């Protein structure tokens, strides 16, 4: 059964890879919307595992790396990870 | 000139009049003289007319000069006015520019501009240092041990570009009674192929359950110790080396997500210091690149968040994991688990249940089960009006916690019982009983979002049952039943910093 689950997982992954598309750069309006969404997501998503750390703790360029790391650790949806990053960098 | 002409005209007129009034005096020579006078008069007139024309011409020339001068004067005045206006504009512009410069100097460069400029200066390739450090005091009643220990675990992130990140974690541990130990628990390349798929390759925390990946950092784990299924007698190997595919997607409203991780790795290995495999043998903590088998282990994990972000019911996470492979050629290892996490306001709770099945060369398999559930409540924001403000400030930084965890396994190996305390482990031998149970009470004091002073009292309450196996080289394993085991209590206090 577990092997079947693994095969199912791989099938889902392949589907994701086929359907996946690179993102385009956000416009200013999209970035404002991301900021608003990030402000809502930040306290909840971070607190899922640990206290939410304020944007002032790291430089904006460091948040780029840290949010990539957190996207991996928590499997965050890419758009939501970008929204939180936008919020953290803007509230720096 | 005009006066002279006028005088001459008058003289000629008087002469002519006198001539005409002389009665009866008309002679030939008079006539000639008269003619002469007429000619003279004519000459005078001619001269006068010439002079007049000359004068008129001169006057006309002078008037032209005057007009010309007047035009020049007007042009000069106009030019002068234009210069004055231009000068005023230039002065105004200069003043504005100076004012703008003053304003810019006064207000300073904006944060976003500076950030962008600094990022441009740094370039795309960037190193970021993060991680954690912890210093502990550990006391165990049964072994009468009390000691200090510390651990330093920096994480180095190397940002190659927006879709490739390298991560390395170095652990420097100073266990009691020993010199420093170093390890490389994590070293991965993370490649983000698109919004839904990421490839991770290297040595990674086992993505099974929530603990190893998400709860194990010092300052993230609300307790000093790990719950029993992830402690010294873990059911799942903490790290592995291989390749992961992972990603997440929002399936409903904001906050309703689902994510997956699938991986292939070298697989679990069991304590290789023993001369023969036995039931209850502990897992190797870190799997190195030496292959255990000629096959690979496969793992998968799914997680779903069924509630929207703004749900009044809070935030719920449900997960399921599996890990399957061989621990030796033709001897399988299978594990599965389910987990949950719940967050609502200051309340947070999480728990897991997991099972492991290990095929043994003998008929009897090595089955193990483990579980834990924990609840904590952050006092932040809790109204305490009967207390002074200062006392409220202090109390509201506390988070009381409770955790119950247990492990069931058919046997433990006496050779592997380690009572040397270290970061995250009290050294209590009660943890190594086949039916270990533990109640942990915690009291965390949050100095900052990632700086916490943690205090924990562990009540070890092992249940009777199972076997204790002793392995001696060249001898068959000695097996003895485990009866009632004395309870134990331990206290751990730790300052944990996430940086």
Question: Residue B220 contacts by C-beta under 8 Å, 6 or more apart in sequence?
Answer: A49, A50, B214, B498
Question: pLDDT tens digits for B365-422?
Answer: 999 999 999 999 999 988 888 999 899 999 999 999 999 999 999 999 999 998 989 8
Arithmetic mean of pLDDT, A53-65: 93
Q: For B179-214, what is the HEC assignment?
A: CCEEEEEEEEEEEECCCCCEEEEEEEECCCCCHHHH
Mark yes or no for CB contact A50/B498 under 8 Å: yes
Per-residue pLDDT at B28: 63
**Dist. CA B304–CA B316, nearest whole Å:** 8
**Considering Cα of B382, then B388, then B390, then B395, what sign does the dihedral take?**
negative
Q: What percent of chain B has pLDDT over 90?
A: 72
DSSP B377-401: E--TT---TTS-HHHHHHHTTEEEE
Question: pLDDT tens digits for B208-237?
Answer: 999 999 999 999 999 999 999 999 999 999
- A38-47, B17-26, B242-251, B411-420: which range is least confident on average? B17-26
Residues of chain A found within 8 Å of residue B195, distances taken between Cβ atoms: 20-21, 23, 77-79
**Dist. CA B226–CA B492, nearest whole Å:** 12
Residue B118 has its nearest CB partner, among A47, A61, A78, at: A61
Of residues A23 and B317, more confidently modeled: B317
Residue B27 has pLDDT above 70, yes or no: no
**Dist. CA B239–CA B210, nearest whole Å:** 13
Per-residue pLDDT at B3: 53
Mark yes or no for CB contact B197/A5 under 8 Å: no
CB atoms within 10 A of CB B340: 15
Mark yes or no for CB contact A6/B498 under 8 Å: no
Per-residue pLDDT at B125: 86
**Interface-testing mutation among B449, B450, B497, with chain A (most A C-beta atoms within 10 A):** B449
Of residues B453 and B150, more confidently modeled: B453
* Contact criterion met (CB below 8 Å) for B458 and B440: yes
Question: pLDDT tens digits for B92-116?
Answer: 999 999 998 888 887 777 766 777 7
Mark yes or no for CB contact B248/A89 under 8 Å: no
- Of the candidates B167, B193, B172, which has an alpha carbon nearest to the alpha carbon of residue B182? B172
Q: What is the ipTM of this complex?
A: 0.80
Please classify residue B135 by burial: count the beta carbons closer than 10 Å to its beta carbon, then call 0-12 exposed, 13-18 middle and 19+ buried.
middle
Distance from CA of B136 to the nearest CA of A (A): 20
Instruction: Label residue A22 by pLDDT band (50, 70, 90).
Output: very low
Residue B20 has pLDDT above 80, yes or no: no
Of residues B306 and A3, more confidently modeled: B306
Strand order in the sheet with B467-470: B411-413, B467-470, B478-481
CB atoms within 10 A of CB B466: 22
> Which residues 296-335 in chain B show a CB within 8 A of chain A?
298-300, 302-303, 309-310, 315, 317, 322, 324, 334
Mark yes or no for CB contact A44/B309 under 8 Å: yes
Mark yes or no for CB contact B220/A92 under 8 Å: no
**Considering Cα of A29, then A32, then A36, then A42, what sign does the dihedral take?**
positive
* Contact criterion met (CB below 8 Å) for B292 and B267: yes
Distance from CA of A48 to the nearest CA of B (A): 7
Arithmetic mean of pLDDT, B20-32: 61
Asked if the C-beta of B183 comes within 8 angstroms of chain A's C-beta atoms, the answer is: no
* Contact criterion met (CB below 8 Å) for B231 and B185: no
Instruction: Give chain B's count of helices (H) and strands (E).
Output: 4, 19
Question: Residue A35 contacts by C-beta under 8 Å, 6 or more apart in sequence?
Answer: A83, A86, A87, A90
Instruction: Label residue B2 by pLDDT band (50, 70, 90).
Output: low
Could you tell me how many CB contacts below 8 A there are between chain A and chain B?
Answer: 167
Distances (CA, A) of B385 to B215, B382, B389, B396: 34, 9, 8, 12
Residues of chain B found within 8 Å of residue A55, distances taken between Cβ atoms: none
Asked if the C-beta of B117 comes within 8 angstroms of chain A's C-beta atoms, the answer is: no
Per-residue pLDDT at B57: 94
Question: pLDDT tens digits for B171-186?
Answer: 888 776 667 888 888 9
How much is the pTM?
Answer: 0.77
Residue B290 has pLDDT above 90, yes or no: no
Of residues B438 and A28, more confidently modeled: B438
């Amino acid at each position: 059964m577990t092997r079947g689950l693994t095969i199912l997982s791989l099938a889902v992954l392949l589907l994701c890879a086929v359907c996946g598309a690179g993102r385009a750069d956000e416009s200013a309006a999209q970035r404002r919307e991301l900021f608003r969404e990030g402000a809502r997501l930040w306290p909840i998503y971070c607190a899922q595992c640990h206290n939410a750390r304020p944007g002032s703790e790291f430089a904006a360029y460091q948040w780029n790396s840290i949010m990539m790391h957190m996207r991996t650790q928590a499997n965050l949806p890419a758009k939501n990870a970008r929204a939180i990053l936008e919020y953290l960098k803007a509230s720096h | 000139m005009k006066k002279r002409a006028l005088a001459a005209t008058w003289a000629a007129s008087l002469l002519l009049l006198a001539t005409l009034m002389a009665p009866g005096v008309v002679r030939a020579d008079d006539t000639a003289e008269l003619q002469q006078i007429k000619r003279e008069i004519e000459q005078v007139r001619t001269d006068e007319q010439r002079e007049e024309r000359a004068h008129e011409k001169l006057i006309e020339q002078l008037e032209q000069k005057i007009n010309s001068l007047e035009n020049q004067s007007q042009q000069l005045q106009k030019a002068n006015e234009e210069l004055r206006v231009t000068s005023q504009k230039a002065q105004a512009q200069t003043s504005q520019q100076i004012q703008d410069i003053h304003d810019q100097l006064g207000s300073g460069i904006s944060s976003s501009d500076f950030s962008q400029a600094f990022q441009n200066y740094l370039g795309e390739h960037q190193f970021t240092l993060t991680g954690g450090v912890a210093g502990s005091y550990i006391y165990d009643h049964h072994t009468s041990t009390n000691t200090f220990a510390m651990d330093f675990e920096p994480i180095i992130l190397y940002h190659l570009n927006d879709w490739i990140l390298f991560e390395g974690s170095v652990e420097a541990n100073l266990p009691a009674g020993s010199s420093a130990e170093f390890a490389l628990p994590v070293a991965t390349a993370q490649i983000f192929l698109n919004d839904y798929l990421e490839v991770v390759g290297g040595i990674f925390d086992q993505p099974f359950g929530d603990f190893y990946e998400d709860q194990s950092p010092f300052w993230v784990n609300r307790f000093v110790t790990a719950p029993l299924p992830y402690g010294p007698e873990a059911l799942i190997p903490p790290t592995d080396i291989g390749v992961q595919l992972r990603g997440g997607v929002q399936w409903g409203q904001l906050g309703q997500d689902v994510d997956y991780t699938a991986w292939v790795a070298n697989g679990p290995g069991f304590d290789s210091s023993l001369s023969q495999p036995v039931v209850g043998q502990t897992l190797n903590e870190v799997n190195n690149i030496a292959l255990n088998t000629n096959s690979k282990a496969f793992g998968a994990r799914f997680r779903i968040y069924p509630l929207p972000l703004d749900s009044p019911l809070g935030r719920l996470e449900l997960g399921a994991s599996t890990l399957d492979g061989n621990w030796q050629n033709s001897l399988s290892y299978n594990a599965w688990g389910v987990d949950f996490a719940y967050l609502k306001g200051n309340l947070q709770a999480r728990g897991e249940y997991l099972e492991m099945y290990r095929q043994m060369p003998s008929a009897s398999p090595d089955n193990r089960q483990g579980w834990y559930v924990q609840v904590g409540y952050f006092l932040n924001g809790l109204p305490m009006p009967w207390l002074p403000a200062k006392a409220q400030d202090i109390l509201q930084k506390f988070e009381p916690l409770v955790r119950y965890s247990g492990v069931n396994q058919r046997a433990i190996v006496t050779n592997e019982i380690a009572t040397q305390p270290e970061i995250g482990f009290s050294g209590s031998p009660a943890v190594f009983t086949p039916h270990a149970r533990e109640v942990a009470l915690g009291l965390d004091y949050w100095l900052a979002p990632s700086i916490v002073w943690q205090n924990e009292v562990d009540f070890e309450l092992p249940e009777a049952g199972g076997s204790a196996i002793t392995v001696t080289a060249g001898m068959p394993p000695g097996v003895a039943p485990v009866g009632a085991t004395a309870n134990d209590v331990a206290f751990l206090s730790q300052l944990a910093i996430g940086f």
